[in-house]
Chain A
C-alpha cells in the first residue's frame, strides 16, 4: 500500500507569488512548512515556529502574517506573497535594494521577514507611518545581531522613496 493510501491527506489550493499551487498535507501543517518543503521557497525563514520572531513573515492577501503559525487550511484559496515574489516585482528602489544600499543587516536571517512586513504596511492605503511600522516591528519581529538602526534607516529611506514616487 502506498504511503498516501495509508495516510490520506487533504489537498489545499492557494496562490503563491501569482501562481496557482496545491499542497497535499495534514490540515494542521503550517504554511511555512509548505513554502519551504513543498514549494522550495526558502527565502521565508524558519526562526521559532512559535509566532514570536517574524523571520517567516509573508503577505496573505496583502497583509503580513507569520507563516509558521498559519495553518494551511487558513490560506485555502488565498494569495500568498513571499520574498521571492516581491523580488520578481523588479522596480528600482525596491525594498530589497534599499536594504542592500543601506547594508541594513548583519547575519540577514531576520531581514526577509522584516522586508515583508514593511512591504505590507507601505503598500496599504493609506500607507503606515514610521511610528506604526516601529510598533509593528516591536510586536512581531526580533533581530539578534543589533542591526536595528540600519534597518530603521532603510525603512526611513523606503518611506521617503515612496513619498517621492507619489504624484
Chain B
C-alpha cells in the first residue's frame, strides 16, 4: 500500500494501535504522549471520528514500550501531523475490516457506523464493534491492505474538552504523585558548577542518618535511597556539605551577546549559496542579533520511578519518548533493551528536552540494589541548573536592496551550540549520569537536529524571495552550559533576527513593514496570514510611533514547512516595557481541536514574550547562576498581553502543529514594536529596560 503514514509503516500491526475491550470500550494506543499540550485529546478525537465511536467509549493507553507503537519523540509540533495521521489511518483500516465483517451479518451494501454500531442505511438491524470483535483479527500487519476511505468532515466540535484536566484539577495525576507498594525515595547529589566532578564525601555522616537504605556511588555519580523523601533530601544536603569536587575546566566569562562564542571553533556548513551576482545593489545593511541560554524551567521538577526484578528494569517516566529512552537506558546500563520497559506517566509541561530522561537513569541507578521501587525527584536547583538549556545563539545578517527597495542579496550566519542532544540521538550516551559512572560512557560527538527542520539553523532560511542567498550554520561543539531542544529550537532567534532585519530593511527602503513583507512573499497562505494579522490589529501604515508607543510585526512559517503565523504586538515603554496586545493569525492546516490550537498559540505567545523580555540563564566563575526562581524571573500575571487570534483553516490542507510557530514571530514583533516606540533597536535578547536605556544613550551620544 502506498502513502502509508510513516509511523504506521514503522508499526504496521493494527493491534498496536487499537483494541476492543469486552466492557464496551476501545483502547487507543498512541506512541505520542501528553505533555500538557492537549495532543492526547486531539488524537482521541481523531480515533473516535474515524472509528465512528463516541469519545466517552475511548480509553487512551499511556505510551508503554510493551504495548504502544514506537512513534519516537513527542516533539517538534509533529504530534498531530505524524501521530494523528497514523492514528487516523489505523482507525480507518480497523473500521474497514469491521465493516467487511459486519456485511456478512447485515448483508451487502453501504454501511454507516455511529456510536460503534454498524447499520445499513434504512435498516434497523445493527451490529457493534464489540459483537464483531471476536471475529476480526487485528493482530495483523496493515501493509497488504488497500488505502482506507476516510470518514472525513471536521473532527472538532464545540465543547470538546481536554480528557486529562479533570483528574489534574482534583488530586493525584502526575508522576510525582504516583505511589508503588514498598516504594523508597532517592535523591542525587549534583555539583553546582557544570565542570565539577565529585571527588569525595564523608560517607559515615550519611550512614548514621535516619532512614538510609542505600548510598549509591558509581564513579562520580552519588545518590541516596531512604525510607522517606525528607530523609533522602537531608542526606544529600549533608553529603553536599562534606563533598569535595574536582574541577575539570573553568567557564569562560559571561559577557553580553554571547562573547564566549568567539573562542570556540565551529563546525561550519554553508548549506545554501546561490550562484551568480546580486544585481543593482543600491543599499546594504548589516546587523547582529543574539539570545542567551534559556531554561526550560518546568514547574514540576523532573521525576522518575524505577524497579528492578531479576535483571529486568521497569521505569515510569515523563519523557517525551518512551521508546528512545528504553534504548538509551539499556545502553547506559549495559543491558539488553528487551530487559527495559518504560512507561509514560504525565508530568508538568516540559517545553522540550528537560531533565525527564536524565532523572530516569538516576532512578534506575539508585534502585539497582534496593529490592524495591525507587522514586527519584530532582530539586528545583537541579532542575534549573542540570536540565539541558535552550541553546544560546548569535546571528549575523547582511542584506542588500535595489533602488526599488527590493531585496537582492541576503546572508544569514548563525552560531550556536547543539539544539538537539536527546538521549538516543547520534552516537554515545547522552543521559546525564552516564558520563559520571566508574566506567563512563562517551557523550558522543556533538550534533544538531538535521535539516530540513534543523536545530541551530531551524528557520535560518528566509521564507521570502530575497535574491541571492547565502546561509551558514556554525555549530559550536560545546558551550558553557548543557543545551538541547527547547520549544522551537533555533527558530526563536533566527526568526527574531530575520524579522527584525526585515523591518530595518523596510525602513531603509521607506516602505511600510507589512507592505515590504508582502512584496517579498509569493506563497498565498503566507500572504493570507500576514494580511489577516494586520487587519486584526487595524495596522496603520501611517502610524509614526514614538513617545514610548509602538507596534511591530513578525511573521514566519515554522520549520519552513509547518504552520504559518503572523503577529502584531503593541507596546508601551516607560521605565519598563508593557506588552499590551498581541494580534495573531495562524494557519495550521486542518484544525482538529480549535480550543487546543488557541491554547497552544496563547501559551506560545506568553512563553515567547517571557523568553524575549525577561529570561537569561547565566553562570559565574563559581558555576550555575540559576538555582531558584529568584534567579530566573519569568513573566507574571500582570505582565501578560491581551491575546487576539484568528485561525485560518484552508480546505484540504493537512493538520500541522501549532505549538511552536509563535515563538519567533512574537519575539520579532516585540523587538520591532520597541524600535517603533523609541526609534532605537535592541538586538540582543532579553530586551530589558536596561538594554533599551543603553541603546538610547548610545544613539544619542
Which residues of A does B touch, CB under 8 Å?
3, 6-7, 25-26, 29-30, 33, 36-37, 40-43, 45-50, 52-53, 55, 83-84, 87, 96, 99-100, 103, 105-112, 115, 134-135, 137-138, 141-152
Would you mind naming 26 contact pairs between A and B with Cβ atoms under 8 Å apart?
A6-B210, A43-B171, A45-B300, A48-B301, A50-B629, A52-B380, A84-B171, A100-B166, A103-B165, A105-B162, A105-B169, A107-B35, A108-B36, A109-B298, A109-B347, A109-B349, A111-B169, A138-B636, A138-B637, A144-B299, A144-B349, A146-B640, A147-B602, A147-B603, A148-B635, A149-B640
**Chain A residues with CB below 8 A from B635, complex form:** 146, 148
Alpha-carbon distance between A158 and B522 when the two chains are bound, in angstroms:
47
Cβ-defined partner of B230 (8 Å) among A29, A50, A109: A29
Nearest CB on B from A101, distance (A) = 8
Alpha-carbon distance between A144 and B636 when the two chains are bound, in angstroms:
10
Q: Choose, from B75-83, B491-499, B604-612, the stretch at the interface.
A: B604-612
Q: Choose, from B12-20, B173-181, B455-463, B670-678, the stretch at the interface.
A: B173-181
Contact assessment for A47 and B168 in the assembled complex, using a CB-CB cutoff below 8 Å: no
* A3-B210, A100-B161 known; A45+B176 contact, CB < 8 A: yes
**Chain B residues with CB below 8 A from A151, complex form:** 637
Contact assessment for A26 and B230 in the assembled complex, using a CB-CB cutoff below 8 Å: yes
Cβ-defined partner of A146 (8 Å) among B162, B230, B605, B629: B605
**Chain B residues with CB below 8 A from A99, complex form:** 169
In this assembly, does B61 line the interface, its C-beta being within 8 Å of a C-beta of chain A?
no
Contact assessment for A145 and B607 in the assembled complex, using a CB-CB cutoff below 8 Å: yes
Alpha-carbon distance between A115 and B165 when the two chains are bound, in angstroms:
14
Nearest CB on B from A85, distance (A) = 11
Contact assessment for A110 and B229 in the assembled complex, using a CB-CB cutoff below 8 Å: no
Contact assessment for B299 and A40 in the assembled complex, using a CB-CB cutoff below 8 Å: no
**Chain A residues with CB below 8 A from B299, complex form:** 45, 47, 53, 55, 107, 109-110, 142-144
**Chain B residues with CB below 8 A from A103, complex form:** 161-162, 165, 595, 599
Closest chain A residue, CB of each to CB of B627:
A50
Instruction: Give 1 or 0 for each of B219-260: 1 = CB within 8 Å of chain A CB.
Output: 000000001111000000000000000000000000000000
Alpha-carbon distance between A99 and B172 when the two chains are bound, in angstroms:
17
Nearest CB on A from B382, distance (A) = 11
Closest chain A residue, CB of each to CB of B173:
A108
Alpha-carbon distance between A93 and B190 when the two chains are bound, in angstroms:
46
**Chain A residues with CB below 8 A from B174, complex form:** 45, 109
Instruction: Give 1 or 0 for each of B282-306: 1 = CB within 8 Å of chain A CB.
Output: 0000000000000001111100000
Contact assessment for A48 and B171 in the assembled complex, using a CB-CB cutoff below 8 Å: no
Cβ-defined partner of A107 (8 Å) among B36, B171, B176: B36
Cβ-defined partner of A52 (8 Å) among B169, B229, B629: B629
Which residues of B does A touch, CB under 8 Å?
35-38, 161-162, 164-166, 168-174, 176-177, 179, 210-211, 227-230, 297-301, 347-349, 351, 377, 379-380, 595, 599, 602-607, 610, 628-630, 634-638, 640, 642-643
Closest chain A residue, CB of each to CB of B171:
A43
Cβ-defined partner of A42 (8 Å) among B169, B177, B301, B610: B177
Contact assessment for A111 and B210 in the assembled complex, using a CB-CB cutoff below 8 Å: no
**Chain B residues with CB below 8 A from A37, complex form:** 228-230
Alpha-carbon distance between A96 and B595 when the two chains are bound, in angstroms:
19
Cβ-defined partner of B165 (8 Å) among A105, A145, A148: A105
**Chain A residues with CB below 8 A from B604, complex form:** 146
Nearest CB on A from B624, distance (A) = 15
Contact assessment for B602 and A146 in the assembled complex, using a CB-CB cutoff below 8 Å: yes
Closest chain A residue, CB of each to CB of B34:
A107
Main secondary structure of the interface of B (DSSP, over half): loop
Nearest CB on A from B603, distance (A) = 4
Nearest CB on A from B481, distance (A) = 19
Contact assessment for A145 and B640 in the assembled complex, using a CB-CB cutoff below 8 Å: no
Alpha-carbon distance between A105 and B595 when the two chains are bound, in angstroms:
12
Nearest CB on A from B48, distance (A) = 18
Alpha-carbon distance between A33 and B185 when the two chains are bound, in angstroms:
12
In this complex, which of A46, A100, A141, A147 has the most chain B Cβ atoms within 10 angstroms of its Cβ? A46
Cβ-defined partner of A83 (8 Å) among B170, B179, B297: B170
Alpha-carbon distance between A7 and B210 when the two chains are bound, in angstroms:
7
Contact assessment for B638 and A134 in the assembled complex, using a CB-CB cutoff below 8 Å: yes
* A46-B301, A138-B637 known; A100+B169 contact, CB < 8 A: yes
Q: What 5 new A-B contacts, CB under 8 Å, besides A6-B210, A111-B169, A152-B640?
A: A42-B176, A48-B301, A107-B168, A144-B351, A151-B637
Closest chain A residue, CB of each to CB of B601:
A146
**Chain A residues with CB below 8 A from B170, complex form:** 43, 83-84, 87, 96
Alpha-carbon distance between A150 and B162 when the two chains are bound, in angstroms:
14
Nearest CB on B from A71, distance (A) = 11
Nearest CB on A from B39, distance (A) = 11
Contact assessment for A137 and B230 in the assembled complex, using a CB-CB cutoff below 8 Å: no
Nearest CB on B from A97, distance (A) = 9
Alpha-carbon distance between A147 and B37 when the two chains are bound, in angstroms:
11
Nearest CB on B from A50, distance (A) = 5
Alpha-carbon distance between A41 and B353 when the two chains are bound, in angstroms:
29
**Chain B residues with CB below 8 A from A7, complex form:** 210
Contact assessment for A50 and B37 in the assembled complex, using a CB-CB cutoff below 8 Å: no
Closest chain A residue, CB of each to CB of B380:
A48
Nearest CB on A from B565, distance (A) = 15
Nearest CB on A from B213, distance (A) = 11
Contact assessment for A149 and B643 in the assembled complex, using a CB-CB cutoff below 8 Å: yes
In this complex, which of A6, A37, A105 has the most chain B Cβ atoms within 10 angstroms of its Cβ? A105
Closest chain B residue, CB of each to CB of A36:
B177
**Chain A residues with CB below 8 A from B348, complex form:** 107, 109, 144
Nearest CB on B from A117, distance (A) = 11
Contact assessment for B628 and A52 in the assembled complex, using a CB-CB cutoff below 8 Å: yes
**Chain B residues with CB below 8 A from A83, complex form:** 169-171
* A107-B348, A144-B298, A144-B299 known; A100+B637 contact, CB < 8 A: no
**Chain B residues with CB below 8 A from A47, complex form:** 299-301, 380
Nearest CB on A from B272, distance (A) = 33
Closest chain A residue, CB of each to CB of B640:
A148
Contact assessment for B640 and A46 in the assembled complex, using a CB-CB cutoff below 8 Å: no
* A46-B377, A109-B174 known; A137+B298 contact, CB < 8 A: no
In this complex, which of A36, A141, A143 has the most chain B Cβ atoms within 10 angstroms of its Cβ? A143
**Chain A residues with CB below 8 A from B301, complex form:** 46-48
Contact assessment for B300 and A109 in the assembled complex, using a CB-CB cutoff below 8 Å: yes
Contact assessment for A107 and B349 in the assembled complex, using a CB-CB cutoff below 8 Å: yes
Nearest CB on B from A147, distance (A) = 6
